[in-house]
Amino acid sequence: MRHLMLLPAILMLGGPACAQTAPGGTATGNLTVDGRPIPLKFAYIVDVDDQEGAGLPLAGPTRYLVFVLTDRALPAGSVTNRNAPYGERKSPAELFAPAVKSPADEVRGMVLKLEPNLRKVFQASLLYPGADSTFTVSSTDYPDQLTDLKREGEHLSGTAVLAEPQDTYFKKGPKRYQYRVSFRAPVVQEPPVTQKWEGQEALDSPPVQAIRQYLDAAKKGDAAGLRRLTAKSHQAYLDKPETLKFLKQADASKLATQVKRVVVRGDLATVLIVSAQPSLSQVSMRLVKEDGGWKLYWP
């Protein structure tokens, strides 16, 4: 059975929010939802090189393309990294309880992820305002197809097709959908990796040292210390008493065994944390270089 996952994808790298128009392309065709056609007019493509997760137990493909096809234009901050079209979200709190709505919350369309070497879609997500889905295990067998792909310089064109109507599995919202959309758009590269640490170098790196200080402040209930180490965009989360209570449970001693890799792309750092207990899990903690130091996008 095919299970559709509603974006945002959990804990993927986010980029800075920006009101600038995205370097998008055009789309022609319809997304048909419960028998009603919705013209899709805009296309965005991101080329992802997942050096953050490469080789880790829960990693997907290292190289893949993200295709976003929508009924309205999106700002650059939403569609210029692997978390497109929710590129401005950087932490679990922003994903599950965003303080500010993303422009993608109002669009209708599709997000497809393609492993180029296999020419196979490995994830498909329906964008629809107000829709709500259960979290399910995603099938690896998707009927979604990206056909007639052709590269011309920095642009990629092709056709996205779901030939037969499929169930959405939404708890509320539309029940069935299909689409056929032709597109042409520039392929956007994520910011290049500027630093990468593993092993002891990762533990000694400035981003992990900032996380240690943050977790120590959380354990002590030091609200001022937490604010000093929190990104400006995340300060509002510290106003919630339940957040401070949650953070008090932090245990910085586990970083020594759980930190696997630190990857820096310009002013953004991602710390990969893998835990085997009580079950295998992988978390990405994001930081931004702000006011001369590393600040956390957390919780």
Q: For the residues 49-61, what does the mean pLDDT come to?
A: 94
Q: Is the pLDDT of residue 17 over 90?
A: no
Q: Is the pLDDT of residue 209 over 60?
A: yes
Residue 12 has what pLDDT?
31
Residue 1: pLDDT band by 50, 70, 90 thresholds? very low
* Domain ranges for the chain: 25-189, 195-297
Question: How far is 297 from 238, CA to CA, in rounded Å?
Answer: 11
* Helix/strand/coil for 95: helix
Question: How far is 109 from 43, CA to CA, in rounded Å?
Answer: 10
pLDDT in tens, 161-206: 999 999 998 988 999 999 999 999 999 999 999 999 999 999 999 9
CATH class of the structural domain 195-297 = alpha beta
For 101, list phi and psi in degrees, rounded to 5: -70, 145
Residue 9: pLDDT band by 50, 70, 90 thresholds? very low
Distances (CA, A) of 208 to 58, 212, 270: 21, 6, 10
Residue 21: pLDDT band by 50, 70, 90 thresholds? low
Residue 133 has what pLDDT?
62
- The terminus-to-terminus CA distance of the chain in angstroms comes to 34
pLDDT in tens, 88-141: 999 988 888 887 889 999 999 999 999 998 899 999 999 999 887 644 444 558
Distances (CA, A) of 237 to 78, 209, 223, 267, 297: 21, 22, 12, 22, 10
